[in-house]
Structure 1
């Protein structure tokens, strides 16, 4: 009887050890599998990170190249504009014409009384003489061999003071700007170089009193009544877009 109990206990102990060994082996296999899975996931993650890094490097390089091109274009456009402004300021520095050259934009400004009488769109005789002296020099610079490939527009702008309504002054300013262009192309106006080329890019705009001139934070009515000659470069619009992108 005792022998049977011992044999039974021996069998039970052997069975328990077998089960424990089986559980341990299964646990080891599970851990090994998890390690392998973790290693694969880690390798995939490293591979993806490497690809992302290489892609980011390529994207950064492309962006840097784009920015460099944009900077070069800005530099070129600003350089051309600066050269034109410098040429204008030099040409009219000692001129006896009653005008001002804006050192920032290159706009040429004539006070209102130079070309027109009050509320009139007819150019005075003295105004015609001013134009006859000014236009050949001005157009000679803008449409010179050095710059004519860069200039897209030449604009004659009429401006008024705030007396009267907006529409009245808009009509007045537009009429004055148009009268200047008409005078330039009148039969009596002296011939000048690039006159034919000028006809394809010159325009006349009336601005009413929307762009006044200030002096000590107050509108200067006398200076606000004026005629301006401005120009635009072919790359001006592109430059504005680039500047917006650069700010972003």
Structure 2
């Protein structure tokens, strides 16, 4: 009778002890996954900071001295061109001075990105933006055409050959954002002049 009772107790103990063990295992797996994700994000952030630093050192100062009208974000490496620099009102045709600027900028910018981290570059994204004047769809079309004009010039014949051009050709994308990402002042009002712009930014993938 005692032995039968012990066997029953032991079976119940084995059943009850399974779930804490299973729960501990799931918790461990989740912790490992979270650590892997955190590690990947940390590596990505580190690579992005290094890229931005490279751009700032090898491109920004040189081109600032040339007086070319664009902005480079020192934290992300994003380049921003204002509408007046690139296009006439309601036009998606690049101005002659915009083409000359891109001929100087693009080779330096591209080399600073690809020379150390070429294997980690997944995309070069050109985004066109408008203000909130006019219909959303009209602005969407205009912003898309402007982004495409810049992208087409960057990989076209008119700009000539430059280092890593073949990689840019495979990675480049053109996107129109219409008025979806308006720039606002600190008071919350829309800055229409600043909102009408074209941005160029790389995307990275540390697992490539």
TM class, shorter-length: 0.7 to 0.9
Say whether 1:74 aligns with 2:45.
no
**Offset, 1:188:** 2.9
**Aligned match for 2:97, one of 126, 133, 136:** 126
Name structure 2 gaps, 5 residues minimum.
Answer: none
Q: Which structure: larger Rg?
A: 1
Name structure 1 gaps, 5 residues minimum.
Answer: 1-32, 237-248
Q: Contact 2:131–2:195 (CA<8 Å) still a contact in 1?
A: yes
Structure 1 residue aligned with 2:9: 42
Say whether 1:174 aligns with 2:144.
yes
Say whether 1:191 aligns with 2:161.
yes
Structure 1 residue aligned with 2:111: 140
Q: Contact 2:83–2:197 (CA<8 Å) still a contact in 1?
A: yes
User: Take 2:111 and 2:154, find their aligned partners in 1: how far apart are those partners?
Assistant: 14
Deviations 1:63-119 (A, max 9, x none): 333222222212111211121122223334432322223345432111111111111
Q: What TM-score does the superposition give when structure 1 sets the normalisation length?
A: 0.73
Q: CA RMSD in A?
A: 2.2
Structure 2 residue aligned with 1:8: none
**Offset, 1:39:** 3.4
Q: What TM-score does the superposition give when structure 2 sets the normalisation length?
A: 0.85
Matches within 5 A, 1:91-170: 91-94=58-61, 95=64, 96-144=67-115, 146-170=116-140
User: Take 2:30 and 2:157, find their aligned partners in 1: how far apart are those partners?
Assistant: 55
**Offset, 1:56:** 3.6
| Structure ranking higher on relative contact order (CA contacts 8 Å, 6+ apart) | 2
User: Take 1:157 and 1:36, find their aligned partners in 2: how far apart are those partners?
Assistant: 77
User: Take 1:112 and 1:157, find their aligned partners in 2: how far apart are those partners?
Assistant: 12
Alpha-carbon distance change, 55 to 162 in structure 1, aligned in 2, over 3 angstroms: closer
Alpha-carbon distance change, 64 to 111 in structure 1, aligned in 2, over 3 angstroms: same
Aligned residues: 202
**Offset, 1:46:** 2.2
Alpha-carbon distance change, 55 to 175 in structure 1, aligned in 2, over 3 angstroms: closer
